[in-house]
Homo-oligomer: A and B are copies of this chain.
Amino acid sequence: MYKLLKIEGRAKRGEFHTPHGIIQTPVFMNVATVAAIKGALSSMDLKDVKCQVALSNTYHLHLRPGDQVIHKLGGLHKFMVWDRPILTDSGGFQVFSLTSLRTIKEEGVYFSSHIDGRKIFMGPEESIQIQSNLGSTIAMAFDECPPYPCDKAYMTASVSRTTRWLKRCQAELRRLNQLDTTVNKNQMLFGINQGGVYKDIRIEHAKEISELNLDGYAIGGLAVGESHEQMYYILEETVPYLPQDKPTYLMGVGTPENILESVERGVDFFDCVLPARNGRHGHVYTNKGKLNLFNAKYELDSSPIDETCTCPTCRNYSKAYIRHLLKAKEMLGMRLCVLHNLYFFNNMMEEIRQALDNNNFAHYKKLKLEGFQEKEEESE
């Protein structure tokens, strides 16, 4: 159940009630691909960096250790020891981006595993069955994520099939939620709006799926190559046609700037691998822009990454120490950067919520964006 607490322009401040607790929105979900955050972070660490929702990947977990294994072990929450909400993606994105020898049919997708090449079939029912085995809080509908660019005829046919798949997902989840063997009998389902940068396809699709009374609605197929301006334009045109009284989730986005701009346009769920990936490469976020800790100027810098930050890393360690660890290829260096970056994102979402609570989002956003301009470092 989604409760809309405040609105400022189109920006939403909400609460999403789930079987695993309440999610305060806008929220940034932290990507635990194979039931762990890359960078040696555990579920205990996720609590330390203020994570509300962990996001895990259906495709990866289906291949390893196998969703049947996780089901036998009592589901993903128990497996990774995380009692807060988990969202699982549908596997669709990975099937379309990681695998080879793909064939898309009405029933689903035939492809080869990126690990051992074995032939796999995944359709809407299979995706939902896997997600049901995992027992995540929120399952995502199985969709096609078309490439960018993509011609309009293909996009129209693809989106139309995605709608048919969505209905099959909904039916399958209803069936599975009634089985005795199901780990989470209250599993929720988010549908996904597609249409690339074609405004009319997006809007038509948004209207169509909004009628299905799903638990939430995602916007997929953005941040795949189009410009930021195109993405913001599509959000402006599409979000008004999605239910305001449901979560609005922009998949795979993005930078702090992207998040601020998208919140303004009515989005309140986000996820992205960027903060963890950047952290593993020594790129860290601050309120004054991104730093590259490999930079020689930090050799003798005894100050934390961000003086104003209260993350586990900044409370303890200096830039000089972290730089040394990164250069010596010590795993701890990556871990400390990832801890900081996830905290930075989760903390920014908290600030956004507070700003919305105080009807102050526009002002907050302006100041924040100005700060980010101060410095932005490239690799050495």
Contacts of A78 in B (CB 8 A): 302
Q: Evaluate contact between A40 and B72: CB separation under 8 angstroms.
A: no
Which residue on chain B has the smallest CB distance to residue A321? B79
Q: A323 CA to B35 CA in the complex, in Å?
A: 12
A244 CA / B74 CA spacing, docked (Å): 55
| A residues contacting the other copy or chain, number (CB 8 A) | 43
Give Cα distance in the complex from A330 to B312, angstroms. 21
Chain B residues, CB < 8 A from A65: 299, 320, 323-324, 327-328
- A98 in contact (CB, < 8 A): no
Q: Which of A87-121 contact B (CB under 8 A)?
A: none
Q: Which of A52-67 contact B (CB under 8 A)?
A: 60, 64-65
Contacting B at CB under 8 A, from A33-47, are 34-44
For A328, list chain B residues within 8 Å (CB). 34, 36, 60, 64-65
**A283 interface residue, CB < 8 Å from B?**
no
Copy count, this protein chain: 2
Closest to A45 in B: B332
Q: Is A1 an interface residue (CB 8 A)?
A: no
Q: Is A316 an interface residue (CB 8 A)?
A: yes
Q: A23 at interface (Cβ–Cβ under 8 A)?
A: no
Interface residues of A in 314-343 (CB under 8 A from B): 316-318, 320-321, 323-325, 327-328, 330-336
Quick one: given A34-B328, A299-B65, are A73 and B320 in contact (CB under 8 Å)? yes
Whether A81 sits at the interface, judged by CB under 8 Å, is: yes
CA distance A328 to B66 in the complex (A): 12
A300 contacts B73, C-beta separation under 8 Å: yes
* Those of A285-328 within 8 Å (CB) of chain B: 299-300, 302, 312, 316-318, 320-321, 323-325, 327-328
**Can you name 13 A-B residue pairings with CB atoms under 8 Å?**
A34-B328, A36-B332, A37-B332, A38-B331, A39-B331, A43-B316, A60-B328, A64-B327, A69-B324, A73-B300, A79-B324, A81-B316, A331-B335
4 residue pairs, one from A and one from B, having the closest CB atoms: A40-B331, A40-B40, A65-B324, A36-B332
